[in-house]
Structure 1
Amino acid sequence: MRRMMLAMLVLAGPASAQAPGGPLPMAELAAALPAELAGWRRGAVTDFAQRPGAAGLGAAVEYRPVAGGPGVATVYLYDRGMAGLPEGVASEQVAGEIRAAVGEVEAVGPLRRFQVAGRGTLTDIPGRGGRPGLRCEPLLLAFEGGNRADSHVCLGVVAGHFLKLRMTLPASAEAQSANMVASFAEALLASVQPPPPLPARRAGR
């Protein structure tokens, strides 16, 4: 039932956003995300759109490992006030958002005492039934003191607005980190993408 309600909210999102004087529904979408995704538990929603001058910045919600321990995944839903965003990952808009997201990570490095020590190859994570999903860029963060972390920036357009995932994990073998990100991203996409339509029944059957 919860998944059905979320799919209806996703589909209604662009129309609601165009309502005169109506707030963007991104905080509602974030609040409707599952309480748990692939072993991660949801936290509180941050509604950026309600802040002065932040129209179009949407909302975000954090997930932490159910079992405890290090790691954080943050899901962002927003549209920057842009209409008609092409679905999927292949647009220039998505490429621009990935560049911006990586730039944001680099910008906060001096404040959090790390630098981006490496950037991996862009990888696509498909949605349900092979539909367009998220495009991810892995980053290696090197902290002062010698600690390292894997940070992944994933972006796509779902139902007319950007879906961004930032996941940071303790540094590990590349495949292990990538698998954890893929598992979470696939569960996230399954929760926000409505199921594909049933095939049309043939006459006489």
Structure 2
Amino acid sequence: MSAQPRVHLLTGAGSGIGAVLATRLLERGDELVLLARSAERAEQLAAALPGSEVLVADLSRPDSVESLRLPEGLDSVVHAAGIAELGSVAELSVGAWVDQLQVNLVAPAALTRIALPALRARRGTVVLLNSGAGLHAHPGWSAYAATKHGLKALADALRAEEAPYGVRVTSVYPGRTATAMQEEVHRQEGKEYDAAAWIQPETVADAILHVLDLPRDATLTDLTLRPT
């Protein structure tokens, strides 16, 4: 009897680390359920990653995930979507704080909650793509770092809560990675951007694959990557 295909729910598959990870999972025969913020974006994702199921939910409005119809079983949920707006505490608007909190923290919590029955059914893994900013906050990064520190707290609490159900939870903390977001961060910082100077998204995707494929006798709770 052939093995049951593994099924993964993935956010942020449109670019960067999420896009590389989605491609790798499809290439090895896994099934993907992707989230897109609009019907138009869903069509683009379906064309770019053929064979994927694409659902529409806008992570800037976390309550939009409430109506999603998810598979009965999920082997993983990978939260790879995120936004960053830099600025000092003296400069950042309420809107900048709220937007980042909604996408980077509240949406992952809401999506994980509705996915838990499916994750428990397959003793699946939750991967939260965090950041070095989730461990150390630097000047100009207050709002973004606060969301990522919150994401670490979410992961730590969820790990303890779901251990009795066999659900594993891993936080991944990449340093600066050569993605479109990193290019935008450099623009906000007023710095020259050289993609070759940073971690490549393929490297982070490989680390996440390692987490997803980890044998059942262990949990990889926290994984940090730094540019060399």
TM-score range for the pair, normalised by the shorter chain length:
0.3 to 0.5
Give the TM-score normalised by the residue count of structure 2: 0.31
Bigger proportion of residues as helix: 2
Q: Which structure: larger Rg? A: 1
Bigger proportion of residues as strand: 1
